[in-house]
Amino acid sequence: MYSAEEVEDINSVRELLEAHAASLIPLPLSSDAIEELAAIQERHSRAITANDRRGVFRTNIEFHKLLFAHCGNAALIEAINSFAQKSHAYRSIFVNDAGYLRWAADAHLAMIEALKRGDRDELVSLCRSHLAPAKNRYIEMFRSRFT
């Protein structure tokens, strides 16, 4: 279990890494790449509808790995994947929250739209804001139990 401070630290690093990766993705992204992300997101949405928690978890990881792979910086991608893995412990609190899962799916679709439009500022903003709910909820729960 992470402390609130550890979650803040992990999330801060994730924000830096993922926002930078989003800023490096060549825009507009190719139609093939967008189609691949959209197909993953479609599977993610189906898993949400089917209440397939494992499928939701796996397709979410697949979506983000592919998204950030387009930044073209192997070291950055490795760091993103490492810190994403650290965050699984606190992100898992949303596995049963249908409202959050729908929000996350909508955020993925908004990222795809930003990629299509070539809207880098929107993409970076979406990638940053995508991280906050899990961090905030975990910290709220942690503090309610341990402080």
| pLDDT of res. 111 | 99
User: 């804001």: which residue's tokens?
Assistant: 129
Condensed to tens digits (0 to 9), the pLDDT of residues 28-79 reads 999 999 999 999 999 999 999 999 999 999 999 999 999 999 999 999 999 9
Question: Whole-model pTM?
Answer: 0.93
Kindly list the structural domains of the chain, giving each domain's residue range(s) and its CATH number in brackets, ordered by start. 4-146 (1.20.120.530)
> What burial letters (b/e) apply to 112-140, b meaning 16+ CB within 10 Å?
bebbeeebbebbbebbeebbebbbebbbe
| pLDDT of res. 97 | 84
